Structure 1
Amino acid sequence: GQSRPESRSWNRVYAMAGMEWGKLTVIPRFWMRAFDQKGDDDDNPDINKYMGYGDLKVQYRLNDKQNVYSVLRYNPKSGRGAVEAAYTFPIKGKLKGV
């Protein structure tokens, strides 16, 4: 982490669950800020505007060693969100590439 004013720390608690249908896994996750400072002591007052209140991970297992997945996040109040997509593959032993 950084010290102020570059600090962008935040604390959150979250709940998540996962569902599987064959090779497809879906994991919704919901969070809320917790234990944060208020007012001028808040390092990141707009974090919910950008991060929203949760995300959704969708993963598809191509075979025993390769996966593709995406993490989707969107805050309808601010119109901001993000998409992460990745492909994982074996390199050697338990070492994987993304």
Structure 2
Amino acid sequence: MQDTERLVRLVNGSPWMMSALRAVRSLQLTSWCIGAGAIRNLVWDALSGYREPSALSDVDVAFFAPQPDPTRASAQNFKDRTAAKRYSERWPRVVVES
């Protein structure tokens, strides 16, 4: 199995990662990704045989807005939208980088 296939299987098999991906997708950002820390923990847990996911202090989200749109793509707007969706109940912190 290729590394990419293994990673896709890990992500698809992880309820918390899928929840995080769905949550960020719901924000309707143009181009985005979840940071490497969450991916690293997912891979480390799988390689180490952990049954429970390691704790994350935050979920980093990076996004790109090719043309600044103050109504949708600003970091503050993103923070406001994540706060309104109450993601902090699932994750301690959401860190925004644009």
TM-score higher than 0.5? no
Structure (1/2) with the larger helix percentage: 2
Select the structure that is richer in strand: 1
| TM-score (normalised: structure 1) | 0.32
Q: What TM-score results when the alignment is normalised by the length of structure 2?
A: 0.32
Greater relative contact order (CA < 8 Å, ≥ 6 in sequence): 2
